[in-house]
Amino acid sequence: MTQLALSSTPAGTPSSVLDRLSRVSAARGAAPLKDRLANLDRWVKNDLVDFEAELAVVPRGAKVVQQAAHHLLDLGGKHLRPLCVALASRFGEGFTPRARGLAVAVELVHTATLLHDDVVDLAERRRGEATASVVYGNAASIFAGDWLLVQSLKRIAAVGVDGMLDKMLSVIDDMILAESVQLERRGKLDEEAQLRAAYFEVVEGKT
């Protein structure tokens, strides 16, 4: 890529997690890392604008499940997973409509897990605001997460990439099993090696 291409993003586009990481790197004296992150940020910033537009298409409505889902979606977030999709797409055809569909799909899965987590963890705040479970209740928050999972799988099926739906189902399966391990380990005091093994099992499955 050329420096001209990296610098061609219009001004005024939303700040991304890469931009924030670049500024943190500068503050910590890591100038080379700052420059690399800033270049990546300029490279994909337009892609993230397109992602935001695609995310806005997720159906809204008067049903409490949709309201609870959009309560969290509208709070934004780092959008690190869609960013990874945008970067990966550069190895192929670019951030095409199919890639945008997958970016939205992974963000919806992530948001669904947060809605569920906030119920399990009895959380009251998320991204600086009251959680959906506080505003709409635990049941609505759980069903909203379920609804977002369905919306995600619909988008993956519509994209039509061979094997992608099976891969996402496998990822969701791993996440649920990792959450189960975390639940089972609560309050248990084991040997350090066992604790470390369980920790990495949970982290790998949830990430």
What six digits make up the tokens of 8?
Answer: 């061609």
Q: Does one domain contain both 79 and 155?
A: yes
Mean pLDDT, contiguous 10-residue spans, the chain (207 residues):
34 60 85 84 89 94 95 92 93 94 97 96 95 97 98 95 94 91 78 78 81
Q: Which domain holds residue 85?
A: 44-160
Q: What pLDDT does residue 5 have?
A: 35
Q: Does one domain contain both 94 and 186?
A: no
Residue at 26 is within a domain: no
Residue at 182 is within a domain: yes
Q: Does one domain contain both 85 and 186?
A: no
What six digits make up the tokens of 153?
Answer: 């799988």
Q: What pLDDT does residue 103 have?
A: 97
Q: Does one domain contain both 133 and 183?
A: no
Helix axes 64-73 and 97-120, enclosed angle (nearest 10): 100
Helix (H, G, I), strand (E, B) or coil at 125: strand
Q: What is the pLDDT of residues 45-96, one digit of tens each?
A: 899 999 999 999 999 999 999 999 999 999 988 899 999 999 999 999 999 9
Number of domains in the chain: 2
Q: What pLDDT does residue 162 have?
A: 93
Q: What does the DSSP 8-state code read for residue 78?
A: -
Q: Does one domain contain both 55 and 70?
A: yes
In the beta sheet, which residues pair with residue 126?
A: 129
Q: What pLDDT does residue 12 have?
A: 37
Q: Does one domain contain both 63 and 139?
A: yes
Q: Is the pTM of this model over 0.85?
A: no
